[in-house]
């Protein structure tokens, strides 16, 4: 039994710790968001270049050639990348073993997933056009690159090397723009050139990951590894069976949910291509691309929050997550309102009147992206608590609803129907996850979603500290 006042003292300590952690998360999130905004500024001319030079049909082919291999690589990963982030944050296994397991699994998964992807293309009706099929087949070479990239990102986040993570993404965006300029403007490579440019840019992220693995192995001190001889520490070592078992158990627990999350985000693109055609796919991909700019806000928080929560106590997590979630929702909602009113001039300015029919779907997706910010934050919370099954349950329900609505609304409303189905699914998923979080943490819905005066005070203190550092 606890002594009188012990619970109160513990809660007060958790509250003070949550504010300290809150400042750290906010600072790192702002840094990540600033980097993402820089990436957006780089990606805008990249997407304009692709859309204007390739047209709606070429845009649809390129988007499909990137999205389909990405889906296969993500599914085949079995959530082990998230397990690596979790285990590194918890300092459960030597970094060299995790590096070794990343290398072996990237090779093994590539050998399995690539043939399955080619089999899928053989039977996929949406790829009946020979030119499109050729482009999609080229996408098979993207699979091993993406697997290596996912493991690299897991390394950045697990070591809480947020600057490395941001640097890798910024390098990828800048390289993609450069490669696109060469392949599309100079070499006139068309869709194939665009896809090759994308592959080359992702390879650079892997290269930064390798550099981080080497640097981290020389500096990390885990589970009895000698801190006196870190320079001789092996970068890669044979992983143990215990590491593989723990990675699989943790990864698979939430992987079904992650798969369904990706299906909820991307399955509508498969259906649009099949039901509306390549032109519709091109328009819808631009709607998704522009609406998802809003997701940079919660994603900036998400990548920082997951490893942070993984290293915290339950009491600290119960204090921190509501503070972060309501702040993320507020910022995303404000940005969403601004984007809605600027959507038409931005769409015409960036992509020309040829893509004007994408406007309605774009606007319909905005409320869905706003509500989805809640699910993104809570997915980090559930993962940090090793309660990923909560996310799986919510996402499974949302995915089922999304698929059902897509089959009903896409034939009726075209790409607007796909956008409506996605917005409904995103809102439902977030609602379910808020209810589950309330059950898990005891925090009310109001406390989780409505900002307080203390939040605004925290924003002010953090910004003042950042300004002082800038001076």
Contact 227, 43 (CB under 8 A): no
Nearest CA-CA partner of 193 in 173, 178, 174, 206:
178
User: Would you call 413 helix, strand, or coil by DSSP?
Assistant: helix
Per-residue pLDDT, 60: 85
User: How far, in Å, CA of 147 to CA of 133, rounded?
Assistant: 22
Per-residue pLDDT, 452: 82
Nearest CA-CA partner of 294 in 367, 231, 207, 205:
367
Contact 114, 144 (CB under 8 A): yes
Per-residue pLDDT, 4: 46
pTM, two decimals, is 0.66
Give me the helices (H) in 77-158, please: 80-90, 95-123, 130-138, 142-158
Give me the helices (H) in 224-313, please: 241-275, 278-291, 296-310
- Taking 70 as the pLDDT cut, the residues of the chain under it are 1-34, 36, 127, 216-233, 303, 311, 458, 462-463, 465-471
User: How far, in Å, CA of 140 to CA of 6, rounded?
Assistant: 58
Residues contacting residue 49 through CB under 8 Å, at least 6 positions apart: 177, 180, 181, 184, 185
CA angle 171, 172, 173 (to 5 degrees): 95
Question: Is residue 123 classed exposed, middle or buried when 0-12, 13-18 and 19+ CB atoms within 10 A define those classes?
Answer: exposed
Query: What are the CA-CA distances from residue 374 to residues 13, 49, 83, 394 (Å)?
Result: 26, 33, 22, 12
Per-residue pLDDT, 217: 61
Query: What per-residue string of b and e applies to 358-372 under the rule 16 or more CB within 10 Å gives b?
Result: bbbbbbbbbbbbbbb
Per-residue pLDDT, 369: 93
């Amino acid at each position: 039994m606890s002594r009188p006042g012990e619970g109160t003292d513990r809660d007060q300590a958790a509250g003070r710790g949550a504010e300290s952690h809150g400042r750290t998360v906010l600072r790192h999130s702002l840094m990540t968001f600033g980097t993402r905004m820089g990436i957006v500024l780089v990606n805008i001319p990249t997407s304009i270049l692709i859309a204007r030079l390739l047209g709606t049909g070429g845009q649809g082919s390129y988007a499909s050639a990137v999205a389909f291999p990405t889906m296969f690589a993500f599914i085949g990963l079995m959530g082990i990348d998230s397990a690596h982030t979790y285990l590194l944050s918890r300092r459960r296994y030597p970094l060299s073993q995790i590096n070794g397991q990343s290398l072996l699994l990237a090779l093994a998964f590539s050998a399995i997933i690539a043939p399955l992807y080619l089999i899928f293309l053989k039977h996929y009706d949406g790829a009946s056009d020979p030119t499109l099929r050729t482009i999609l087949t080229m996408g098979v070479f993207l699979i091993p690159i993406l697997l290596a990239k996912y493991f690299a990102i897991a390394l950045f986040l697990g070591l809480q090397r947020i600057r490395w993570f941001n640097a890798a993404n910024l390098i990828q965006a800048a390289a993609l723009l450069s490669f696109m300029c060469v392949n599309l403007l100079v070499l006139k490579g068309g869709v194939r050139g665009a896809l090759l440019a994308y592959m080359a840019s992702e390879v650079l992220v892997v290269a930064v990951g390798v550099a981080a693995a080497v640097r981290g192995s020389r500096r990390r001190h885990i589970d009895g590894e000698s801190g006196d001889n870190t320079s001789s520490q092996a970068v890669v070592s044979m992983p143990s069976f215990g590491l593989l078992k723990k990675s699989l158990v943790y990864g698979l627990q939430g992987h079904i949910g992650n798969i369904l999350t990706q299906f909820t985000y991307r399955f509508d693109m498969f259906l649009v291509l099949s039901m509306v055609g390549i032109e519709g796919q091109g328009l819808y991909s631009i709607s998704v691309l522009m609406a998802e700019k809003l997701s940079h806000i919660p994603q900036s928080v998400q990548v920082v929050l997951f490893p942070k929560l993984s290293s915290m106590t339950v009491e600290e997590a119960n204090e921190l997550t509501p503070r972060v979630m309501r702040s993320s929702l507020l910022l995303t909602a404000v940005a969403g309102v601004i984007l809605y009113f600027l959507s038409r001039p931005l769409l015409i300015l960036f992509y020309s009147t040829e893509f004007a029919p994408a406007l309605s779907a774009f606007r319909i997706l905005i409320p869905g992206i706003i509500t989805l910010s809640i699910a993104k934050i809570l997915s980090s919370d559930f993962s940090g608590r090793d309660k990923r099954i909560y996310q799986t349950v919510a996402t499974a329900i949302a995915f089922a609803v999304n698929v059902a609505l897509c089959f009903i609304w896409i034939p009726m409303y075209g790409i607007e129907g796909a956008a409506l189905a996605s917005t409904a699914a995103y809102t439902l998923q977030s609602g379910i996850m808020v209810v589950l979080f309330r059950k898990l943490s005891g925090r009310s819905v109001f406390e989780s979603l409505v900002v307080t005066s203390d939040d605004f005070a925290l924003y002010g203190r953090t910004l003042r500290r950042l300004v002082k550092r800038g001076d």
